Amino acid sequence: MASFDIVSKVDPQTLENAVNTAKKELQTRYDLRDTKGGIELDKKANTILLTSENSMRVQALENILLGRIVKQGIDGTALDFSAEEQPSGALVKKVVKVRAGVDKEVGRKVIKAIKDAKVKVEAQMQDDQIRVTAKKIDDLQAAIAAVRQASIGQPLQFVNMKS
C-alpha cells in the first residue's frame, strides 16, 4: 500500500530569523522609533507577542511581522492574527499564534476535500497529521492535487511518500 502524511509545521529556525529581522526593522523605522514594547517570540508556547502604545502601532507591527515571515519563505497563513488586542497598563498586547499541526477542524476539511475529489484513497487522522493510503501512487498524487486546490486556510506539507 502506498501512503503519505499531510502535516502542518513551521521551521523554528526560519521563524526565529523572521522575528529577529522584524525586530531590526522595528528599530530602524522612523514612525516606530520611540515605541515602547516590540516583538517577542515564545518558542515553547509557539506564539509571538506584539506590544505597543496603541492599536494602530500594533497593526503596524503585524504588517512588519507578516512581511518578514513571507520574505523568509513561510506561508502567511501559518500565523493566526484572530486574537483580540488586550490593554495592559500603558501598553496594548496581542498574542499571535503560530499554527503547527493539523487540528481536528482542519483535518475534517482536508478529508472532505479528498472525499469530494472521488479518489480511491483512505484518509485518517493520526494525532496532528493525516495519513493517506491507496493502492496506486497515481491516486495519491490526485489526492495531493485535490488538497492543494481546496482552500484550507493553513499551510500543509506532504511528507513520507512511500510506495
List, for residues 21-67, the tens digit of each pLDDT value: 988 888 888 877 777 878 888 988 889 998 888 888 888 888 888 99
For 3, residues 6+ apart whose C-beta sits below 8 A from its C-beta are 131, 132, 133, 134, 140, 160, 161, 162
**For the chain, which residues make up each domain, given as ranges?**
2-8+101-162, 12-98
Nearest residue to 110 via CA among 161, 155, 150: 150
Domain 12-98 of CATH type 3.30.70.990: yes
3-state helix, strand, coil in the chain (%, to 5): 40, 30, 30
Would you state the pLDDT for residue 156?
Answer: 85
- Where does the pLDDT of residue 13 fall: very low under 50, low under 70, confident under 90, or very high at 90 and above? very high
The packing angle between helices 12-28 and 55-71, to 10°, is 130
Q: 40 by DSSP, 3-state: which?
A: strand
Distances (CA, A) of 4 to 17, 71, 153: 30, 29, 21
Question: What SS3 class is residue 54?
Answer: coil
Please report the pLDDT score of residue 21 as a whole number: 92
Choosing among 3.30.70.860, 3.90.550.40, 3.20.20.70, 3.10.690.10, the CATH entry for 2-8+101-162 is 3.30.70.860
Asked if the domains at 2-8+101-162 and 12-98 fall in one CATH topology, the answer is yes
Q: How confident is the model at residue 71 (pLDDT cuts 50, 70, 90)?
A: very high
Q: Tell me what pLDDT residue 92 has.
A: 87
Rounded to 5°, the CA angle 145-99-140 comes to 20
Give the pLDDT confidence of 94-120 residue by residue, as tens digits. 888 988 888 888 888 888 888 888 888
